[in-house]
C-alpha cells in the first residue's frame, strides 16, 4: 500500500472517530504544514526576527505572528479550492482564470525558491565556523560546510519521492528538525528570561498590533536619544526610517508566493480529496502557524534580550572620545557617523577638512552617538549569538548555533523538494523521476551564490523579493475571487459561519498583506527610475491581456462547439 493511500485511510478513520480521538489521529499524520513552517523559518525570517527585537523589542512580536495568521487564511482558501477541484493553483489559473497570472506566479515562485535558498548556505557555513566548529572558520572551511549541506540535502530530497521506509524516514527527519529547533529556542528563552527586566504582560502585549511603529521611534531608545541634545531629530529620523522599512518588509515577506504555489501540489500529491479538507485546515494551523509563531517569537525575544544587553554595555562603557571600536569602524557605521558630523558642521565644511581631520571629528563624537550608529546598523547573527552567550552562557552559544544551522539546512532541503514539484508542474510531467530530481538539483546552483557574489542582496535577493511582492496582491485577490466562483466550485463555495470566517480571513489577507506589498513595490526605485511603478503597471497590463485572451479562447471554443452540434443536426436531418 502506498504512503498516500495509507494517509488517506488514516484520515478517513480519524474523521469517523470524532472528538479527542480525531485530534490525536490528526497529529500522527505529517501534513504539509510542517513543510511550509520549515520553509517559512528561513534565514530571512531569522534576520527579520533579530531586526524586530533590536528595533522594537517585545513590541515587535505581533509583526510575523499576524502576517502568518493572515497568510494561513490565504492558504486555507487555496487548500479548499485545490481539494474541491482536484487541480493545482497553476493549472486552475492557466486553464480557468488567467494564464498570465499563472505563469508569472510560477516564475516568481521559482525565483523566490532560488533567492531564499542562496543565503542559507552562507548562514549555515558562517555559524558553523564562527560558533560551533571554530577550526572551520576559514573560506575553505565554510565552502566545505556548504558543500556538505548541499550533498546531504540532495541525498534526502531523493528520499522524498520514494515509497516505504525511506519516505517515512524523510517525514521523521522533518519532524525531528522542527522539534529540535523549537526545543533549542525555548531553552534559550528560559535561560535568558530571569536575567532581563521583561514581564509576561509585556510579552503578551507585544502580540497586539501597533501601527505607531510606522510613525514613532520605539521607546527602547528614549534614554539614549535624550542624551543627544539638539541632534535627537537626526537620530530619530535614521531610527524611524530603519524601523518602518523593517516592519513593512518583514510583514509583507512572511508569506512567500512559493508557499502559495506549493501547497496544492503537496496536498494533491498525497492523494487527498474533498473529504480531507478539515484535516488540511487543522494541519496548517497546528503544523504551520503554531510552530512558526513559537520559533519566530523566541527569536524576537532573544534579540530583545541581546539588544538590551548591547545598550547596557555600551552606555556603561564610557569609551574615550578618541576610540573607535572595530564594529564602529565598519563602513555602514563609519558612514553614518560621518553623516552625523556633516549634520553638525555642514557638508562644505566637512569636505574642506583633510581626511585625518575628518577622522578626528568622527572619533571625537560622544559615546551615545556611536552607540546609536551601531543600533541603526542591524546586528548580524554571529554578534547576536555572542551577545547572548556572554557571562559564561556557553550553552546558549551552542543551542543558538545549532538552531541557525537547522534553519539553514531545513530550508535548503524543503525548497529543493518544492522546486522539484514546481518544475514538474510547469512542464506538465509526473511529479517523480528525472523531471522531479532535475528540478530539485536546479537549486544546487544557488549554493555557489554566497561565494561568487559579494553583494548578493543587491543582485539577487532584492530584485527577486520585489518581483514576488509585485505579484502577491494579484494572487491574493484571485484566490479570494476563486473561492467564491460558482463556475469553479459550484455548491462547494464556502458557506455558513465557517465559510464567512474563511472569506473574511482571505479578505483581510488581501487587504493588509496585499496593500503592504503594493506600497513597498510602488515606492521602490532604482536611482531615479520608479522601477516599482513600472513593474506594477506592466503586470497589470499582462494580466489584462491574459484575462481577455482566455475569455476569447473560451468564447471561441463555445462557438465551435455550437457549430459542431448544428452541423451534426443538419447531417442527421439529411
Question: Which tens digits make up the pLDDT trace of 358-376?
Answer: 888 888 888 788 888 888 8
Neighbouring C-beta atoms of residue 226, cutoff 10 Å: 10
pLDDT at 319: 46
How far is the C-alpha of 44 from the C-alpha of 465, rounded, in Å? 11
pLDDT digits (tens, 9 = 90+) for 284-304: 998 899 999 999 999 999 998
Residue with cell 515577506: 253
pLDDT at 459: 39
> Which domains does the chain carry?
37-212+219-315+382-524 (1.10.4160)
How far is the C-alpha of 454 from the C-alpha of 448, rounded, in Å? 11
How far is the C-alpha of 388 from the C-alpha of 400, rounded, in Å? 9
pLDDT at 314: 57
Q: Check if the beta carbon of residue 6 is closer than 8 Å to that of residue 379.
A: no
Q: Check if the beta carbon of residue 410 is closer than 8 Å to that of residue 38.
A: yes
Residue partners of 332: CB distance under 8 A and separation at least 6: 377
130 φψ region: left (φ > 0), alpha (ψ -120 to 50), beta (else): alpha
35, HSE (Cβ side, Cα atoms, 13 Å) = 25
pLDDT digits (tens, 9 = 90+) for 94-123: 888 889 999 999 988 888 888 888 888 888
pLDDT digits (tens, 9 = 90+) for 137-166: 888 888 888 888 888 888 888 887 766 677
pLDDT at 315: 53
Region 471-486: mean pLDDT is 90
How far is the C-alpha of 174 from the C-alpha of 177, rounded, in Å? 5
Return the closest-CA partner of residue 107 out of 474, 471, 414, 436: 471
- Band the pLDDT of 349: cuts 50, 70, 90: confident
Q: Check if the beta carbon of residue 411 is closer than 8 Å to that of residue 120.
A: yes
Higher pLDDT, 321 or 331: 331
pLDDT at 189: 92
Most confident of 27-41, 484-498, 504-518: 504-518
Lowest mean pLDDT among 93-102, 248-257, 374-383: 374-383
Q: Check if the beta carbon of residue 124 is closer than 8 Å to that of residue 404.
A: yes
526, β-bridge pairs:
529
Amino acid at each position: 500500500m502506498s504512503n498516500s493511500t495509507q494517509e488517506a485511510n488514516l484520515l478517513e478513520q480519524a474523521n469517523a472517530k470524532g472528538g479527542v480521538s480525531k485530534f490525536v489521529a490528526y497529529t500522527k499524520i505529517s501534513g504539509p504544514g510542517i513543510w511550509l513552517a520549515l520553509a517559512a523559518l528561513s534565514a530571512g525570517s531569522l534576520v527579520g526576527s533579530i531586526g524586530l527585537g533590536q528595533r522594537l523589542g517585545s513590541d515587535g512580536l505581533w509583526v510575523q505572528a499576524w502576517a502568518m495568521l493572515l497568510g494561513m487564511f490565504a492558504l486555507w482558501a487555496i487548500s479548499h479550492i485545490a481539494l474541491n477541484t482536484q487541480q493545482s493553483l497553476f493549472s486552475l489559473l492557466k486553464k480557468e482564470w488567467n494564464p498570465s497570472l499563472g505563469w508569472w506566479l510560477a516564475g516568481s515562485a521559482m525565483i523566490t525558491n532560488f533567492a531564499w535558498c542562496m543565503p542559507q548556505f552562507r548562514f549555515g557555513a558562517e555559524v558553523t565556523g564562527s560558533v560551533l566548529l571554530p577550526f572551520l572558520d576559514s573560506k575553505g572551511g565554510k565552502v566545505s560546510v556548504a558543500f556538505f549541506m548541499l550533498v546531504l540535502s540532495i541525498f534526502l530530497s531523493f528520499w522524498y519521492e520514494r515509497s516505504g521506509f525511506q519516505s517515512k524516514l524523510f517525514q521523521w527527519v522533518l519532524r525531528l528538525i522542527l522539534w529540535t529547533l523549537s526545543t533549542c529556542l525555548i531553552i534559550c528563552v528560559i535561560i535568558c528570561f530571569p536575567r532581563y527586566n521583561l514581564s509576561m504582560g509585556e510579552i503578551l502585549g507585544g502580540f497586539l498590533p501597533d501601527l505607531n511603529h510606522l510613525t514613532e521611534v520605539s521607546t527602547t531608545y528614549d534614554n539614549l536619544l535624550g542624551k543627544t541634545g539638539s541632534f535627537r531629530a537626526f537620530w530619530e529620523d535614521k531610527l524611524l526610517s530603519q524601523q518602518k522599512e523593517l516592519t513593512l518588509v518583514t510583514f509583507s515577506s512572511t508569506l512567500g508566493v512559493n508557499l502559495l504555489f506549493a501547497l496544492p501540489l503537496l496536498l494533491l500529491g498525497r492523494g487527498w480529496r474533498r473529504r480531507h479538507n478539515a484535516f488540511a485546515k487543522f494541519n496548517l494551523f497546528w503544523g504551520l502557524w503554531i510552530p512558526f509563531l513559537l520559533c519566530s517569537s523566541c527569536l524576537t525575544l532573544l534579540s530583545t534580550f541581546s539588544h538590551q544587553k548591547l545598550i547596557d554595555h555600551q552606555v556603561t562603557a564610557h569609551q574615550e572620545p578618541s576610540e573607535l571600536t572595530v564594529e564602529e569602524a565598519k563602513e555602514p557605521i563609519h558612514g553614518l557617523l560621518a553623516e552625523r558630523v556633516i549634520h553638525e558642521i555642514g557638508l562644505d565644511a566637512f569636505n574642506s577638512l583633510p581626511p585625518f581631520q575628518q577622522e578626528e571629528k568622527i572619533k571625537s563624537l560622544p559615546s551615545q552617538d556611536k552607540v546609536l550608529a551601531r543600533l541603526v546598523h542591524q546586528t548580524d547573527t554571529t554578534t547576536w549569538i555572542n551577545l547572548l552567550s556572554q557571562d559564561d552562557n556557553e550553552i546558549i552559544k551552542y543551542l543558538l548555533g545549532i538552531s541557525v544551522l537547522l534553519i539553514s539546512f531545513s530550508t535548503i532541503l524543503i525548497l529543493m523538494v518544492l522546486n522539484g514539484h514546481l518544475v514538474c508542474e510547469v512542464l506538465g510531467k509526473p511529479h517523480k523521476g528525472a523531471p522531479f530530481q532535475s528540478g530539485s538539483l536546479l537549486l544546487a546552483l544557488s549554493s555557489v551564490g554566497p561565494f561568487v557574489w559579494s553583494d548578493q542582496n543587491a543582485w539577487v535577493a532584492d530584485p527577486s523579493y520585489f518581483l514576488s511582492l509585485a505579484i502577491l496582491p494579484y494572487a491574493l485577490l484571485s484566490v479570494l475571487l476563486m473561492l467564491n466562483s460558482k463556475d469553479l466550485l459550484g455548491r462547494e463555495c464556502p458557506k455558513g459561519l465557517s465559510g464567512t470566517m474563511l472569506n473574511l480571513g482571505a479578505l483581510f489577507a488581501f487587504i493588509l498583506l496585499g496593500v503592504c506589498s503594493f506600497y513597498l513595490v510602488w515606492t521602490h526605485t532604482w536611482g531615479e527610475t520608479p522601477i516599482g511603478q513600472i513593474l506594477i503597471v506592466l503586470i497589470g497590463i499582462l494580466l489584462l491581456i491574459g484575462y481577455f485572451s482566455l475569455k476569447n479562447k473560451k468564447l471561441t471554443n463555445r462557438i465551435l462547439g455550437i457549430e459542431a452540434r448544428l452541423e451534426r443536426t443538419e447531417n442527421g436531418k439529411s
